[in-house]
Structure 1
């Protein structure tokens, strides 16, 4: 396993989550800003792709059914967990 590659992808996920949250907060007070809506939609789409890539290569990011279906064996216990990197 290439830990540096995994950490880099995890960092991209964290950065894009930050962007999406900030744009979400901005849009709460500026709901008609079309550029911000477009930026938000792009951020969410990119975040989705990063998460799918991460989970395909390294396993689930979340448990309790939020990470999608699990393969065999039960993938959540396969380490390291994202916060253990």
Structure 2
């Protein structure tokens, strides 16, 4: 059983994760060409930390999205295989 109550709905949390993940990826591409940019590094750290917190919250509420968060479920059992696969969720490719 999950014990954590989410700050927003599953869909809202996923949307936030998608947005922050996009920003992290974009900043990584920027830093590939501007490796000494302090502002870029600061933004990358900020968004990477936001993403980490959102992923942890999602894992605690709904199960892990990635194997990196598989132990963030506050459960005594292995929850990784107990959730639906992405294509089994509503709106997936069926």
TM-score, L = length of structure 2: 0.72
Structure 2 unaligned segments of length 5 or more: list them.
1-5
- Flag as ranges the 4+ runs of structure 1 deviating above 6 A: none
Unaligned runs of 5+ residues in structure 1 are none
Q: Between Structure 1 and Structure 2, how many residues are aligned?
A: 81
Partner of residue 69, structure 2? 67
Q: 1:46 corresponds to which residue?
A: 50
User: Could you say which structure has the higher helix fraction?
Assistant: 1
Q: CA RMSD in A?
A: 2.3
How high is the TM-score relative to the length of structure 1?
Answer: 0.79
